[in-house]
Amino acid sequence: MSDLLELYQELIKDHSKKPRNFRVMADADRQLEGYNPLCGDRFTVYLKIRGDVVEDVSFQGAGCAISTSSASLMTQALKGKSRHEAEELFRAFHELVTKDARAVDEEQLGKLIVFSGVRKFPVRVKCATLAWHTLNAMLHGEAKPVSTE
């Protein structure tokens, strides 16, 4: 198990240092700001939707290692997903970082499983879910910036 945890930490570190899809999307259909006052994480998430499919997701901003790597892995996980699949993944991810591990569908979560350790650190849950809450609010057509407080 310790090897696995090490692997998880490596992946989180890699994505926090070199976040993927970390850019302003000039032609985004939607963009929304998310803020976690508890930690100071602040991101803008950009979304391009074609029909029912998430064509592109990106983000910009500044945050801790957990929030940055979570946003980075989220953008990778959501590309090409339908709106419904994106919402399902948000729900699954939320369960992963807040609930018991046994309830988790590892196949659905893929690489996102690396955040399973977050549930032991309740303060970190808001970091890990910030970009996801922001994305989810956009999918529901909300225009007000998201705050985790």
- Closer residue to Zn ion in complex, CB, 43/49: 43
H/E stretch holding 35: strand 30-36
Q: Using CB atoms within 10 A of its CB, is residue 11 exposed (0-12), middle (13-18) or buried (19+)? A: middle
One of 127, 128, 135, 138 touching Zn ion (CB under 5 A): 127
> How many Cα atoms sit within 13 Å of 86 on the Cβ side?
28
One of 48, 64, 81, 119 touching Zn ion (CB under 5 A): 64
Under rule CB under 5 A, residue 16 binds Zn ion: no
Under rule CB under 5 A, residue 92 binds Zn ion: no
Q: DSSP 3-state assignment of 98?
A: helix
In sequence order, what are the residues at sequence separation of 6 or more whose Cβ sits closer than 8 angstroms to the Cβ of residue 142?
32
One of 31, 41, 114, 125 touching Zn ion (CB under 5 A): 41
Q: How far apart are CA 148 and CA 69, in angstroms?
A: 17
Under rule CB under 5 A, residue 65 binds Zn ion: no
Under rule CB under 5 A, residue 67 binds Zn ion: yes
Under rule CB under 5 A, residue 134 binds Zn ion: no
- Closer residue to Zn ion in complex, CB, 83/119: 119
- Closer residue to Zn ion in complex, CB, 11/64: 64
Q: How far is the CB of 104 from Zn ion (least distance, A)?
A: 22
The token pair that represents 96 in the structure block = 């992963």
Cα angle 138, 11, 44 (rounded to 5 degrees) comes to 25
How many residues bind Zn ion (CB under 5 A)? The answer is 5
Under rule CB under 5 A, residue 49 binds Zn ion: no
Binding site for Zn ion (CB under 5 A): 39, 41, 64, 67, 127
